[in-house]
């Protein structure tokens, strides 16, 4: 049997992405082989493909390398000693992070402990949208310990991380302000946030006295957003590139500030899958691209303007 994978034989433009045929994986003890239905595409995939960041640095002598950390599919084979799943069960997971990757594969063997069961009521598309972005959203909100009644500002509420963060903060009964372009204003209002058009005026002219900032944009937008905060506010800045600069500035202004690196946590994925199954959390899928169109998927991701998530259909 064939196991097609999307790999990078070298770093570069989206066109370096190549489909290769690899041997079928075998489940080692404690592992299950997942037949991947959908793989999520994340900004880190694009960055690594381009040769930027430490996942690229660590894998530079390991090419061709299969990208991808988000998978949803079904259990194809169970290794010795596995107990959690049977063949055919629907599963999803945040796998191989940060150095192994491999999510852009039709079949992959992973420890069963890293996988979550996908409830009947949840589609595999929705499940594939959640792992990396959803866990980033939860962990970012935890860093600023969002409480009921607080005013929380989330930059880039329409993105993969943002649309989950907005919904979770609204569910925690915070008053949520979020930035987006004009075309996403209605969408974010329907999620329960005060949506602010960053193209119209800087957010600092529209929001004041916020208790917490979840920065998903970085750079100048984040520096401007610091002006929206009240004394003692908490800041988490998620894009790694500008994190040091933003934290330094935030601390000078007297705020508690931190960067973060998402840490895979299957219990958090379990919780989000449950919320989706009862209709309390909705994933937004911008587009599902057949695996063969992975170049277009990366080009779309690179626009930085995707609403929600992009997925690859690994079986068509
Ligand atoms: N440190 C970590 O562990 C970690 C984990 C996950 C993600 N990240 C980083 O966090 C960032 C967000 O990730 P993501 O997956 O959510 O990205 P994404 O899905 O690509 O975000 C796209 C969204 O950003 C919005 N946007 C673009 N420029 C904006 C601006 N100036 N102000 C407000 N919104 C803007 C766009 O909305 P409009 O079209 O309306 O502008 C679009 O919906 C990325 O930099 C990513 O690399 C870091």
What pLDDT, in 10s, does the model give residues 25-44? Answer: 999 999 999 999 999 999 99
Nearest ligand 1 atom to the CA of 309 is 19
Pocket test for ligand 1, best of 47, 161, 303 (most atoms within 8 A of CB): 161
pLDDT score for 207:
98
Nearest ligand 1 atom to the CA of 179 is 33
Q: DSSP 3-state assignment of 179?
A: strand
pLDDT tens digits, 95-108: 999 999 999 999 99
Give the whole-angstrom CA distance, residue 129 versus residue 266. 14
Classify residue 29 as exposed, middle or buried by CB count within 10 Å of its CB (0-12, 13-18, 19+): exposed
Q: Which two tokens stand for residue 231?
A: 């004394």
pLDDT score for 1:
86
Give the whole-angstrom CA distance, residue 103 versus residue 20. 14
pLDDT score for 107:
98
Domains along the chain?
A: 3-130+283-313 (3.90.180.10), 133-259 (3.40.50.720)
Pocket lining for ligand 1, CB < 6 angstroms? 42-44, 133, 136, 155-156, 158-162, 179-181, 184, 198, 216-217, 221, 238-240, 260-262, 304-307
Residue 302: how many CB atoms within 10 A of its CB?
A: 16
**Residue matched to tokens 């996988």:** 115
Facing residues of 178 across strands?
154, 195
Strand-by-strand arrangement of the 3-8 sheet: 18-22, 3-8, 65-66
Query: Virtual CA dihedral for 220, 283, 262, 290, nearest 10 degrees?
Result: -100
| Strands 18-22 and 3-8, bridge-based pairing | antiparallel
Give the whole-angstrom CA distance, residue 109 versus residue 120. 23
Pocket test for ligand 1, best of 132, 183, 216 (most atoms within 8 A of CB): 216
Pocket test for ligand 1, best of 162, 225, 311 (most atoms within 8 A of CB): 162
pLDDT score for 189:
98
- Taking only the tens of pLDDT, the chain with its 316 residues reads 899 999 999 999 999 999 999 999 999 999 999 999 999 999 999 999 999 998 999 999 999 999 999 999 999 999 999 999 999 999 999 999 999 999 999 999 999 999 999 999 999 999 999 999 999 999 999 999 999 999 999 999 999 999 999 999 999 999 999 999 999 999 999 999 999 999 999 999 999 999 999 999 999 999 999 999 999 999 999 999 999 999 999 999 999 999 999 999 999 999 999 999 999 999 999 999 999 999 999 999 999 999 999 999 999 8
Rounded to the nearest whole angstrom, what is the distance from the C-alpha of residue 213 to the centroid of ligand 1?
14
Give the whole-angstrom CA distance, residue 43 versus residue 160. 9
Give the whole-angstrom CA distance, residue 182 versus residue 163. 15
pLDDT score for 54:
87
The protein residue whose alpha carbon is closest to atom 8 in ligand 1 is: 239
Nearest ligand 1 atom to the CA of 47 is 47
Rounded to the nearest whole angstrom, what is the distance from the C-alpha of residue 248 to the centroid of ligand 1?
21
The end-to-end CA distance of the chain, in Å, is 15
Give the whole-angstrom CA distance, residue 252 versus residue 260. 19
pLDDT score for 285:
98
Q: Label residue 26 left, alpha or beta by phi (over 0 means left) and psi (-120 to 50 means alpha).
A: beta
Residue 262: how many CB atoms within 10 A of its CB?
A: 24
Nearest ligand 1 atom to the CA of 44 is 47
Rounded to the nearest whole angstrom, what is the distance from the C-alpha of residue 243 to the centroid of ligand 1?
14
């Amino acid at each position: 049997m064939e196991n097609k994978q999307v790999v990078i034989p070298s770093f570069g433009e989206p066109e370096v992405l190549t489909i290769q045929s690899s041997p079928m994986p075998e489940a080692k003890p404690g592992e299950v082989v997942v037949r991947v239905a959908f793989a999520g595409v994340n900004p880190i995939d694009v960055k690594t493909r381009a040769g930027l960041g430490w996942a690229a640095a660590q894998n530079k002598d390991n090419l061709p390398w299969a990208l991808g950390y988000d998978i949803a599919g079904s259990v194809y084979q169970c290794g010795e000693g596995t107990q959690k799943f049977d063949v055919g069960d629907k599963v999803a997971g945040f796998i191989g992070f940060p150095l192994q990757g491999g999510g852009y594969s039709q079949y992959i063997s992973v420890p069963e402990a890293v996988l979550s069961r996908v409830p009947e009521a949840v589609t595999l598309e929705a499940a594939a949208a959640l792992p990396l972005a959803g866990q980033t959203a939860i962990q970012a909100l935890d860093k600023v310990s969002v409480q009921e009644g607080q005013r929380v500002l989330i930059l880039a509420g329409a993105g993969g991380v943002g649309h989950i963060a907005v919904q979770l903060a609204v569910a925690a009964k915070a008053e949520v302000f979020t930035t987006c372009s004009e075309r996403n204003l209605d969408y974010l209002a329907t999620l329960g946030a005060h949506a602010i058009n960053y193209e119209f005026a800087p957010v600092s002219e529209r929001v004041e006295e916020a208790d917490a900032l979840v920065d998903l944009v970085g750079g100048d937008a984040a520096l401007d957003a610091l002006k929206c905060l009240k004394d003692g506010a908490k800041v988490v800045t998620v894009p790694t590139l500008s994190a040091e600069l933003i934290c330094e500035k935030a601390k000078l202004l007297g705020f508690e500030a931190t960067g973060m690196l998402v840490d895979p946590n299957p219990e958090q994925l379990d919780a989000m899958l449950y919320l989706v199954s009862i209709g309390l959390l909705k994933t937004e899928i911008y587009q599902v691209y057949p695996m063969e169109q992975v170049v277009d998927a990366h080009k779309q991701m690179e626009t930085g303007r995707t609403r929600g998530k992009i997925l690859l259909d690994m079986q068509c």
